[in-house]
Amino acid sequence: MSTFLSTIGISVLAAIAITTAANLCTTVYLHRALSHRALSVRFPAAFLFRAIIWLTTGIKPKEWVAVHRKHHAYTDVDGDPHSPVLLGWWTVQKRNVLLYREAAQDPANIAKYAKDIPDDKWDRTFFGHQKTGLILGIAIIMVAIGPVAGLLAAFLHANFYLAANAAVNALGHHFGRRPYANNATNLQWLAFCTMGEGLHNNHHAAPSSPRLSHKWHQIDPGWWV
């Protein structure tokens, strides 16, 4: 029994650590640096961000950027890839990953919204191969903490990451405070979980700002990096 509980505990802690790293790379690199050019990330930091995203999410940066830029171009109107105003917040929460994939797999979206992010040698060699990154990431976890704990940690991480990022698109356009005149909302508890992304109303008010916190009492962990 103690071994079982120990395995569960290790898996949960590992999943939280991995999800935190993935969320940090998502907000700092994919969102603030690439999507909005709000800050510059240079080698080797950029390579590290890309590697972590590849191993923990399998996301292709230019696909994420294209979907996000389209969201800003058509926020909560026809054309928004994942608007809870159009689809309902619960639908977006449940189907966010499918809505994302649908938009990301449209070549027209990539060509229009991510033309400034061409594939480079690292994409062709490593980062463009999504399944390889995920399999390698799971293998690393299994070697680090054991096969059973590693598989459980990978499962928990996938659910934590997908749920948190879906919440930004779903809850972050439905529940919470709106200090600025846009449909997005601020949820500080969600900002803790997503390294700042829960301050979504602030972001839509100033998308080119690298800082998502606008008040002294608002906490944006991604800004600390």
**pLDDT in the model for residue 225:** 77
CA 175 to chain CA centroid, Å, is: 19
**DSSP 3-state percent helix, strand, coil across the chain (nearest 5):** 70, 0, 30
Q: What is the pTM of this model?
A: 0.94
The region, left, alpha or beta by phi > 0 then psi within -120 to 50, assigned to residue 175 is beta
**pLDDT in the model for residue 4:** 74
**pLDDT in the model for residue 3:** 80
**pLDDT in the model for residue 1:** 55
Q: Is 51 helix (H, G, I), strand (E, B) or coil?
A: helix
Q: CB 189: neighbour CB atoms within 10 A? A: 11
pLDDT tens-place string over residues 2-49:
687 788 999 999 999 999 999 999 999 999 999 999 999 999 999 999
pLDDT tens-place string over residues 162-209:
999 999 999 999 999 999 999 999 999 999 999 999 999 999 999 999
**The token pair that represents 60 in the structure block:** 């292709």
pLDDT at 147 over 60: yes
pLDDT tens-place string over residues 67-101:
999 999 999 999 999 999 999 999 999 999 999 99
Q: CB 115: neighbour CB atoms within 10 A? A: 10
Q: Which among 210, 213, 217, 192 has a CA at the least distance from the CA of 201?
A: 213
Instruction: Tell me which DSSP letter residue 209 carries.
Output: -
